[in-house]
Structure 1
Amino acid sequence: MQGNVIERPFKGHTDEINSVAFSNGKYIASGSRDRTVRLWDIQRLAVGQPFLGHGSTVTAVTFSPDGQYIVSGSRDRTVRL
C-alpha cells in the first residue's frame, strides 16, 4: 500500500515511536522507546516539554474520553496519568 505525504514529519523523540493517539482533532500524543510521552498540536508543534517518569519504553498512549488527560503504559509495568 502506498500513500502520499501530506505534511512534514513531527520531530522530537530520540528513539523509535511505539504508540500514537489523536484527540479532539487538535492534539496528538506519542509514546517512545526514549521513555517519554510528547504532546503535539496539529500544527506540528510540541506542546511543552516531554512527559517523563517511565523507567522503560512507553508502549501505549491514549487520551481520556473528554480529551483532558493522557494515559501511558510502559514496559516498566506502570501506567501513568
Structure 2
Amino acid sequence: DIHGNPIGQPWHGHEKEVNSVAFSPDGKLIVSASNDLTVRLWDIHGNPIGQPWQGHEKEVNSVAFSPDGQWIVSASNDST
C-alpha cells in the first residue's frame, strides 16, 4: 500500500530477477521485465495473462505502457 505495507503474497512466474514493472494507464494491468529474457502481463491480482512474451536474446531491463494503454515497449541488453 502507499504506506509500505505488503498487500497479499508475492507473485511468481519469472524464473530470474525482475528488473522493471509498470501499471497500465487504467490501473488494471501490470507488465514486468526479467532477466529470464521475457516480458509478462498480469492482472491487478497477480494472475498471469497469457504466456510470457519472448524475443529478446538478453536480459529485459525496462518496460512501459503507452499513454493510451494500447502498446507496451521493452528494452533489453541485446540492444533492442
Same fold (TM over 0.5): yes
Instruction: Give, as a single letter, the amino acid of the residue that structure 2 aligns with 1:41.
Output: D
Structure 1 length-normalised TM: 0.90
Q: What TM-score results when the alignment is normalised by the length of structure 2?
A: 0.91
Residues 28-79 of structure 1 show CA distances to partners (whole Å, capped at 9, x for unaligned) of 000000000000000211000000000000001000111011100000000x
C-alpha distance in 2 between matches for 1:6 and 1:34: 25
Q: Which residue of 1 aligns with 2:6?
A: 5
Number of equivalenced pairs: 77
Percent of aligned positions that are identical: 58
* CA offset digits 1:2-22 (Å, max 9, x no partner): 832111111100000001001
Regions of 4+ moved over 6 Å: none
Unaligned 5+ runs, structure 1: none
Partners of 1:6 and 1:12 in 2: how far apart? Answer: 18
26, 29, 32: which one aligns with 2:31: 29
CA RMSD of aligned residues (A): 1.1
